[in-house]
């Protein structure tokens, strides 16, 4: 007796099992007896009954195997140092219905700002055959070096074109897209707000990581705007956590009256260090993000990076559903928040102008 092989059929020995589209049930559609070899009716029933039990188990295993795996390469040493962005990213996934360990697997890695460990962990995530990779800050370029095929979503990258991640903002090309936290006027605006909150400031230090290409743009923009408002700026380089105290000592020695910290992963990792050093040396600071302000900065102007981390999950979801990173435009910031820390102002003896309080998005008591 012959039989045509049908889509969704499994030929098991001398019979055929049809698997439903959702793998939730099996239907026996026929029994094929081998030529010249008879099977008793009760033997067939045993085989059919056993198959009806086994196939749903296999179906469940197949569903579990299809759970997407997303690798996340951070930049700090652990999830505590990545707080609140770690929690924001996880929240972004949960808002979309993804629960880690149930219908998605999130693989987190923390390289502690060490270039060699960035590369090692990026390679490790690639070896896990992740469906999508997410890179926070400095992690993005390391992921791109590790793979040209797995889709990558970056976040907190100030200059994705300069970093070699994308060909253009509108059409990234390749396997990378994501969210940028940079706008050309940010460095100038931070200097402006520092001058407004402390009008006597005429010399301001710029905390710069020379290993980050966009630092040159921050310096250029601040210098040009500083000239217009009568503020001299000077760069002070930091490449590791151990460089911050010498940099602040050098600021004091050079007669700096304030400090501006622009967006970069090392600056974020050192947020508490920066706040403590600035306060100890009576230097009012303008920083780039809420978390540095909450650590003790005086004033902050920049994007809401918690919201950005949640948005990164949206990009991952779109890619998992079939969209290509090459065709997903890089998302640039359009809304910026001005925050003031009155507790730090009191500690520094700074009286915040009412006009500045009036335009602030939030004032922390």
pLDDT, tens digit, for every residue of 147-163? 999 999 999 998 899 88
Residues 51 and 154 in one domain: no
Tell whether the model's pLDDT for residue 8 goes beyond 90. no
> 42 pLDDT band (50/70/90 cuts)?
low
Last residue of a domain, one of 65, 84, 109: 65
Asked, for residue 3, whether it belongs to a domain, the answer is no
Burial zone of 34 (CB within 10 Å; 0-12 exposed, 13-18 middle, 19+ buried): exposed
Mean pLDDT for the chain overall:
86
Contact 283, 248 (CB under 8 A): yes
Does one domain contain both 220 and 164?
no
- Within 10 angstroms of residue 65's Cβ, the number of other Cβ atoms is 7
> 139-146 and 115-127 are packed helices; what angle lies between their axes, rounded to 10 degrees?
50
State pLDDT tens for residues 191-212.
999 999 999 999 999 999 998 8
Of the three residues 20, 35, 65, the one that is the final residue of a domain is 65
Residues 315, 260, single domain; the answer is: no
Q: Residue 290 sits in a domain of what CATH number?
A: 3.40.50.2300
Q: What is the pTM of this model?
A: 0.77
Instruction: Please indicate, yes or no, if residue 199 is contained in any of the structural domains.
Output: yes
Per-residue confidence at 13, pLDDT binned at 50, 70, 90? very low
Q: Is there a single domain that holds both residue 281 and residue 220?
A: yes
Q: Are residues 26 and 85 in the same domain?
A: no
Q: Specify whether 286 is located in the same domain as 311.
A: no
Length of the chain: 365
> CB burial class (10 A; 0-12, 13-18, 19+) of residue 324?
middle
Are 222 and 343 in a shared domain? Answer: yes
Q: 123-142 pLDDT, tens per residue?
A: 999 999 999 999 999 999 99
Query: How many domains does the structure of the chain reveal?
Result: 3
Output the 3-class SS for 282-300: CCCEEECCHHHHHCCCCEE
- What domain range is 314 assigned to? 69-181+306-327
pLDDT at residue 334, rounded to an integer:
87
**Residue 312 to residue 85: CA distance in whole angstroms:** 11
357 shares its domain with 237 = yes
Give a yes or no: residue 173 inside a domain.
Answer: yes
* Residues near 229 by beta carbon (within 8 Å), at least 6 away in sequence: 191, 192, 195
Q: Are residues 89 and 138 in the same domain?
A: yes
Helices assigned H by DSSP within the chain: 41-65, 85-95, 115-127, 139-146, 186-197, 215-229, 244-253, 265-269, 271-280, 290-294, 305-320, 342-348, 354-359
Shared domain for 236 and 359, answered yes or no, is: yes
Confidence band of 66 (pLDDT split at 50, 70, 90):
confident
One domain for residues 98 and 236: no
Residues 256 and 287 in one domain: yes
Is residue 2, in this structure, part of any structural domain at all? no
Assess whether the previous peptide bond of 288 is cis (omega < 30° from 0).
Answer: no
193 falls within a domain: yes
């Amino acid at each position: 007796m012959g039989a045509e092989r049908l889509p969704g059929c499994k030929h098991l020995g001398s019979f055929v099992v049809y698997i439903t589209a959702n793998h939730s049930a099996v239907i026996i559609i026929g029994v094929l007896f081998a030529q010249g070899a008879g099977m008793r009716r009760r033997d067939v029933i045993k085989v059919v009954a056993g198959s009806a039990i086994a196939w749903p188990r296999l179906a469940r295993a197949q569903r579990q195997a299809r759970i997407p795996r997303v690798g996340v390469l951070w930049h700090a040493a652990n999830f505590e140092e990545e707080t609140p962005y770690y929690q924001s990213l996880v929240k972004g996934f949960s808002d979309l219905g993804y629960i880690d360990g149930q219908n998605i697997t999130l693989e987190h890695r923390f390289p502690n700002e060490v270039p060699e460990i960035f590369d090692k962990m990026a390679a490790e995530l690639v070896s896990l055959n992740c469906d999508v990779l997410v890179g926070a800050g400095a992690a993005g370029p390391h992921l791109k070096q590790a793979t040209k095929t797995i889709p990558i979503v970056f976040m907190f990258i100030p200059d994705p074109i300069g970093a070699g991640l994308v060909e253009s903002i509108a059409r990234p090309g390749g396997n990378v897209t994501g969210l940028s936290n940079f706008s050309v006027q940010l460095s100038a605006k931070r200097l402006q707000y520092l001058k407004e909150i402390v009008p006597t400031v005429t010399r301001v230090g710029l905390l710069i990581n020379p290993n980050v290409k966009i630092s040159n743009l921050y310096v250029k923009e601040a210098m040009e705007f500083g000239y217009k408002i009568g503020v001299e700026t000077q760069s002070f380089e930091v490449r590791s956590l151990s460089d911050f105290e010498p940099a602040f000592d050098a600021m004091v020695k050079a007669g700096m009256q304030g400090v501006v910290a622009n967006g970069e992963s090392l600056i974020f990792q050192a947020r508490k260090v920066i706040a403590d050093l600035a306060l100890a040396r009576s230097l009012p600071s303008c920083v780039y993000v809420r978390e540095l302000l909450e650590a003790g900065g005086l004033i902050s102007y920049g994007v809401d990076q918690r919201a950005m981390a949640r948005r990164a999950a949206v990009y991952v979801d779109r890619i998992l559903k079939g969209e290509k990173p090459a065709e997903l435009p890089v998302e640039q910031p359009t809304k910026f928040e001005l925050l003031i820390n009155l507790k730090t102002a009191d500690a520094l003896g700074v009286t915040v102008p009412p006009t500045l309080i009036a335009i602030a998005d939030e004032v922390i008591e």
